[in-house]
Amino acid sequence: MNSDSDLQIAGDILEVPHLLQAPREHPSTVAEFVGLARSIAADRSQWEHLVQYDATSRWYHRLRTGPGYEVWLLSWVPGQGSGLHDHGRSSGVFTVVQGALTERTERGTRALGVGTQQVFAPGYVHEVVNDSLEPAISLHVYYPGLTEMPMHVMRCAASRPQEPGDVVTA
């Protein structure tokens, strides 16, 4: 035997059902939530007919729920933004499905194009804005479901040099 491993599998491994994990009906890991967001985003027939645009406020629609999670669809007309906020005790992932958005955090600014995904943990403070001249659509998955969205304000940088932690709860 010319193998570096002492383990060999004889026959078809797929014929050994007790060694295979049953597919999960609902996501339970970060990677599975990312995959859920990606698969829903790719299947426009699930959400495209629902999208609306509102010039006075961001439009949002709860698209799906599962055990402990929610999937939301949001539209953004040019100039609309979320305000600086976090998602309370929820973790999540969002992906841009049409147009472009800008994310601002204390670490800087990031352009988000179609297909870009952002994963975040509880307490992640950010602002999302449509800085472009075209409408945008994003898809968000929250676990556990979103029950709070505390807003934050950034202290004026002119009053003293900016330091980490300059984001304070409103």
Residue 76 structural domain: 25-150
142 falls within a domain:
yes
**CATH, residue 119:** 2.60.120.10
166 falls within a domain:
no
18 falls within a domain:
no
Which residue ranges are tagged as binding site for Fe cation? 85, 87, 126
Q: What is the amino acid identity at position 15?
A: E
- pTM for the model stands at 0.77
Instruction: Give the per-residue pLDDT at 145.
Output: 94
- Cα–Cα distance for residue pair 148/115, rounded to 1 Å: 26
167 falls within a domain:
no
Cα 136 to chain centroid, rounded: 15
121 falls within a domain:
yes
160 falls within a domain:
no
136 falls within a domain:
yes
- Cα–Cα distance for residue pair 115/42, rounded to 1 Å: 9
- Cα–Cα distance for residue pair 164/142, rounded to 1 Å: 26
Which residue ranges are tagged as binding site? 85, 87, 126
Q: For residue 102, what are the β-bridge partners? A: 111, 129
Instruction: Give the per-residue pLDDT at 169.
Output: 41
User: For every one of its 170 residues, what pLDDT tens digit does the chain have, with 9 covering 90 and above?
Assistant: 455 656 565 666 566 555 556 666 788 899 999 999 999 999 999 999 999 999 999 999 999 999 999 999 999 999 999 999 999 999 999 999 999 999 999 999 999 999 999 999 999 999 999 999 999 999 999 999 999 999 998 754 443 344 444 444 43
Q: How many independent structural domains does the chain possess?
A: 1
78 falls within a domain:
yes
